[in-house]
Copies of this chain bind each other. A is one copy, B any other.
Amino acid sequence: MKKNVIVGQSGGPTAVINCSLAGVYATSLELGLGKVYGMRNGIQGLLERRYVNMCDHIRDDFDVELLKRTPSSFLGSCRYKLPHPDQNKAIFAKIFGILDELDIGYFFYNGGNDSMDTIHKLSTYGERVNSPIRFLGVPKTIDNDLAVTDHSPGFGSAAKYVATTTKELILDAQVYNNGAVTIIEAMGRNTGWLTASAALAKGPDSIGPDLIYLPEVAFDMDKFLDNVAKVSRDHSPVIVVSEGIKLADGRYISELGRENIGSDSFGHIQLTGTASYLAQQVRNKLGAKVRAIEFATIQRCASHLQSAVDAAEAFAVGQAAVQAAAKGETNRVIIINRLSSRPYAFETCAMEIEKMANIEKHVPTEWITPSGDYVTQDYIDYALPLIQGEVAPFFVNGMPRHILLK
């Protein structure tokens, strides 16, 4: 009798996070593993014994295709930080008790850095107690800040959204020929990967954004205002900034204008209002007409604009995790190795999770222009293959159809 499978989703969703869930589910069935359980709201839900039998909800291949096109985390998510096994054995004993009750042999957790930390802690504890359960991490993040892997599933689709919408907004901004300034804020707390993707808008049919500011470079307000004045001379500029840009002294721009709204259970400060604050500065100091636009959570849930490459890779990492676990691997995360950029080719690989957990990958300094306000061709060459191809939503009555966990 084959052991059962359990899979959970954690952290912020992406436009293709359910492609990875589909990859885990479909591959588990294909390999003839046992039942496939889904944790509701990740490890937090598991601790409350909230889980579903996936086959009650995803009944056939059509449902799998709907699942791949459904935004947000189908199973729900959490931001729950496991303690170190030395600090609180009880919680691990509880988790492993529940996993044993369910006769789990394979545990998959789809998330970012914090989720890889969870997998690492569970594997470590499992090894100590001689558990046969295989623990595998499946990467996802729109931020693309995971180490070791060439890039992370979820990034390509978010980048396609940011680039496409920025391109549309650049045309929109030119309409009145009045030199008005548009400041767009994209997600990116500590890394500028996603914000930088606005540069992909540039091409034979678009002037692209005028300036791009990433958290990797200390933000200089005077230089910024000078630059804005310069690019406003002959057109209506569009400037794209990361939510997490900071002054040289470490203060977030978003902190300057208002109090912090709070922080989550990982101690992440919730940032908001970077573009609004900069817009206010431009208005007051330059007297320009300014509009601030935040992509907010739209950029992580725009499944109607999935990148086909990203969707396929998100499925592939789920698939590879099941294959690796079935071969007996554990305490590993599936990463993507780029074999070639032109033509684009990749392979997946099961890597020791310590190499990824709790490390943040930044945009290389040499991919940012010396002036600190744009990215180089190296970034474009890196990101362009990841936004290729489209996945047609299943439109019903004019609206993309999704599948809901009832």
Contacts and interface: CB of A to CB of B under 8 A. Distances in A.
A307 B390 contact: no
A174 B76 contact: yes
B167 A400 contact: yes
B302 A297 contact: no
Given A72-B168, A168-B71, A176 B399 contact: no
Given A395-B390, A399-B387, A168 B404 contact: no
Contacts of A291: 296-297
16 contacts: A13-B172, A40-B177, A72-B175, A76-B175, A76-B176, A168-B298, A168-B400, A169-B297, A205-B402, A261-B283, A291-B296, A293-B297, A298-B298, A304-B305, A307-B398, A388-B398
Interface in A187-232: 200-201, 203, 205-206
A174 B300 CA distance: 14
Contacts of A174: 72, 76
Contact of A206 (B40, B206, B296, B404): B404
Interface in A289-324: 289, 291, 293-294, 296-298, 300-305, 307
Contact of A399 (B71, B77, B163): B163
A173 B165 CA distance: 21
A169 B298 CA distance: 7
A160 interface: yes
Interface string A59-79: 000000000001111001111
Contacts of A55: none
A205 B294 contact: no
Contact of A296 (B293, B401, B403): B293
A13 B177 CA distance: 13
Interface in A348-406: 384, 387-390, 395, 397-404
Interface in A152-187: 160, 163-165, 167-169, 171-177, 182
A123 interface: no
A300 B384 contact: no
A397 B388 contact: yes
A73 to B, nearest CB: 5
Given A71-B168, A168-B303, A168-B304, 19 more contacts: A12-B175, A41-B176, A41-B177, A71-B172, A72-B171, A72-B172, A72-B174, A76-B174, A76-B176, A78-B176, A165-B298, A168-B302, A172-B300, A172-B301, A182-B297, A206-B404, A293-B294, A384-B398, A388-B398
Contacts of A78: 176-177
B402 A398 contact: no
Contact of A401 (B172, B176, B205, B261): B205
Contact of A165 (B262, B289, B302): B302
Nearest to A77: B175
B164 A400 contact: yes
- Interface size class of chain A, counting residues whose CB lies under 8 Å from the partner chain: 35 or more
Nearest to A383: B398
A243 to B, nearest CB: 13
Contacts of A71: 168, 171-172
B297 A399 contact: no
A169 B79 CA distance: 19
Contacts of A160: 398-399
Given A71-B171, A169-B301, A177 B76 contact: yes
Contacts of A41: 176-177
Contact of A387 (B76, B79, B201, B398): B398
Nearest to A297: B172
A77 B174 CA distance: 9
In the complex, the 5 A-B pairs of residues with the closest C-beta atoms, listed nearest first: A72-B171, A387-B398, A172-B301, A168-B301, A388-B398
